[in-house]
Amino acid sequence: MNFPQIAQQVIDKLGGKENIATAAHCATRLRIVLNDESKVDKEGIDNIEGVKGQFAVAGQYQIIFGSGTVNKVHAELTKLLGIGDVSNAEVAEAASGNQNLLQRLVKGLADIFVPIIPAIVAGGLLMGIHSMLTAKGFFVDELSVIDMHPGLADLVDFINTIANAPFVFLPVLLGFSATRKFGGNPFLGAALGMLLVHPALADGWNYALTLAQGKIQYWNVFGLEIEKVGYQGTVIPTLVSAWVLATLEKTFRKFVPSYLDNLITPLFSLFIAGFLAFTVIGPIGREAGSLIASGLTWLYDTLGFVGGAIFGAFYAPIVITGMHQTFIAVETQLLAEMANTGGTFIFPIAAMSNIAQGAACLGVAVALKDPKVRGLAVPSGISALLGITEPAMFGVNLRYRQAFFAAMIGSGLSSAFIAFFNVKAIALGAAGFLGIPSIKPDSLAMYSIGMVISFVVAFTLSVIFVKRAKAKA
């Protein structure tokens, strides 16, 4: 491949150098902020060698080249543009000016939660492994692995301790990430998160039970009785408290002399934010978070397969808008309240949607004889089956929209099936065929059947729909 030539073609089809503000790349895509998106020659970009798809989202124009290729194209692109290396964060910041209020809100939540996902995924998957090892009847009728091999008990307990850590100390992770996003000192945010789960506080997981037993202790501060209760597993109290902390910090820095800044600013910011966290923000936020988690679970359980069908069918369109980024916050709360919610229903439905997109993409490869289409559709379809849907969705299925509709139908039917059997996940992970460790052990059979339904329906309908559309053309 002639990468300098490809880079020049990209520049030309995007409207020239003057139309490109910033450019970066991720594992598979160029991520470009344009001054005027109307100048883009989309058909011309599709015809560039190596291009596997294109789409605009979150104020960025993204061109899919695939791993191993995109970095080489980007290197030549930056040479021609003369802008040097730009980070994804800088591109995202530049793109924010092109976003409306809702888009900025979604992006803000994504910026907070995405950095901590590896910790949540690692803990969640270990939690899934722990459940498999301790569940009776998972491998042998009426027996768990521990029952059969008692010598593994300490190892399993160790796994459970590691698994719980990211959720027990979730406010620390969120405090760091959120405060950084809001423009404050992230280490102050971490300190605030530590305060919310301090060992001297009553366990927030058992708040309702401790309250019912009358064992809540109180601080008497300024005539107020403040509950000595932690906020383990909470999301809303931590996010709001982090925003307050960052706002206080920035406000103090406006009038505090520089020689007193390191003394006064962190002292008063942390004290005031901490006080508000335990008196106002925390109690209200705890109830709000629990109500949201319980409400969504109730709605899912009440609507059953109908709700599953609707959510599953429209999950992919939601992904196109970027609104799926907000689900991370909801899923985190559902997992944090697992004792009440039983886990998250969003992950299994996301998996059904991803599998359907992959199957529909493979259906396009079967339906069309074009070697170029097949060269893109087969690897993109396999990638989607494993949880990475962008190449399949944006590069193939939306181009051949009949495949996208087939995927929506497959996802809707399979999601209805798993919703009927109340399939839930106890962890986040790869939303696809590799998502099995994230699923509750007693739901694995139905989850597996759901995957088969999603694949077979989406693949079959995609082949039929695309062939029919080709015949009419």
DSSP 395-411: IIITTTHHHHHHHHHHH
211: CB partners within 8 A, 6+ apart: none
Question: For the purposes of burial, counting CB atoms within 10 Å of the CB of 439, is it exposed (0-12), middle (13-18) or buried (19 or more)?
Answer: buried
Catalytic residue among 8, 12, 26, 206: 26
Nearest CA to 196 out of 215, 168, 217, 221 is that of 168
Of the chain, the end-to-end C-alpha distance in Å amounts to 33
What's the rounded Cα separation, in Å, for the pair 175 and 270? 12
**Residue 204 in contact with residue 234, Cβ under 8 Å?**
yes
What's the rounded Cα separation, in Å, for the pair 361 and 50? 18
Q: H helices within 24-69, ranges in order?
A: 42-46
The token duo for 243 is: 């925003």
Phi, psi for residue 24 in degrees, rounded to 5: -145, -175
**Is 361 considered catalytic here?**
no
* Residue 179: strand, helix, or coil: helix
89: CB partners within 8 A, 6+ apart: none
What's the rounded Cα separation, in Å, for the pair 35 and 263? 43
Between CA 349 and CA 366, with CA 457 as vertex, the angle to 5 degrees is 120
25: CB partners within 8 A, 6+ apart: 31, 70, 71, 73, 74
Phi, psi for residue 144 in degrees, rounded to 5: -100, 170
Q: What crossing angle do the helices spanning 327-336 and 282-321 adopt, rounded to 10°?
A: 130
Question: For the purposes of burial, counting CB atoms within 10 Å of the CB of 89, is it exposed (0-12), middle (13-18) or buried (19 or more)?
Answer: exposed
Catalytic residues: 26
